[in-house]
Amino acid sequence: MSDVLTLSGIRRTYRQGTGALEVLRGVDLSIKPGEVVALVGPSGSGKSTLLQIAGLLDSPTSGSISIDGQNFTSASDAMRTAARGKLLGFVYQFHHLLADFTALENVMMPLVIAGASRNKAAARARELLVLMGLAERVSHHPARLSGGEQQRVAIARALANAPKLLLADEPTGNLDPQTASGVMDYLLQLARQYRLSALVATHNPEIAKRMDRVVTIRDSVLS
């Protein structure tokens, strides 16, 4: 079985006037099916850039990207967009829920966009919210949810289309330690249940050590 994510020789350089800033220098990373990997490193080390490249939101200056056995190194914008909808799920530090929609409707959104009927979308969204411990919150709008509950809705939304790979950028960075631990309990439980692969950037060493493997980015390289 092929790796869910393979990054080979990833370099990312940004032009700054007459100079250049090299954010990533030859990064290699592979993630196996069902493996949850913590990405740690100091601020400005390139964690977010690496996640954006893995998520097909940014293109490397050089190197190759393979997701679920498909090479996306030279993929068109249309192919990248389709892959983000089918193969990838994203969670950020801030939940970015739609304020005028209920928790159920927020999780339904990517399913409806992908073409699912409203009945099927609602059933799948409810299933995920129940698994995230939010059975009593499905009809609540974000303003009526706690910070941890909002982030659990965001995780459920990211998993709505059954992605192969979840990419999370500081998903608990805006939460207190106890709430952050609880959110990670649910995320890891779902990852195990669905054999979901994940790359999770975090500053929290307690959260990082709960994952299958920890990789560190420092001075633009991975170790």
138-157 per-position pLDDT tens digit: 999 999 999 889 999 999 99
The answer to the question of residue 40 being in a domain is: yes
For residue 8, the domain's CATH number is: 3.40.50.300
* 123 burial via Cβ count (<10 Å: 0-12, 13-18, 19+): middle
The answer to the question of residue 63 being in a domain is: yes
State mean pLDDT over 89-113: 91
The pTM of this model reads 0.90
Strand order in the sheet with 5-16: 19-31, 5-16, 62-67, 70-71
Are the CB atoms for 107 and 118 separated by under 8 Å? Answer: no
The answer to the question of residue 14 being in a domain is: yes
For residue 73, the Cα-to-chain-centroid distance in whole angstroms is: 19
The answer to the question of residue 136 being in a domain is: no
Structure confidence at residue 178 (pLDDT) = 86
Report d(CA 73, CA 75) in Å as an integer: 6
Q: pLDDT for 104-140, tens place per residue?
A: 999 999 999 989 999 999 999 999 999 989 999 999 9
Structure confidence at residue 30 (pLDDT) = 96
For residue 49, the Cα-to-chain-centroid distance in whole angstroms is: 13
36 DSSP β-pair partners: 198
Banded pLDDT at 1 (limits 50, 70, 90): low
| Residues 6+ away with beta carbon under 8 Å from 48 | 169, 201
The answer to the question of residue 54 being in a domain is: yes
Structure confidence at residue 45 (pLDDT) = 80
Q: Which residue has the higher pLDDT, 21 or 117?
A: 117
Structure confidence at residue 70 (pLDDT) = 92
Banded pLDDT at 218 (limits 50, 70, 90): confident
For residue 148, the Cα-to-chain-centroid distance in whole angstroms is: 17
| % of the chain residues with pLDDT over 70 | 100
**Residue 11's domain spans which residues?**
1-87+202-223
Q: How many domains does the chain have?
A: 1
Q: Mean of the per-residue pLDDT values for the chain?
A: 90
| Residues 6+ away with beta carbon under 8 Å from 68 | 2, 4, 87, 164, 165
The answer to the question of residue 190 being in a domain is: no
The answer to the question of residue 92 being in a domain is: no
State mean pLDDT over 196-200: 95
The answer to the question of residue 150 being in a domain is: no
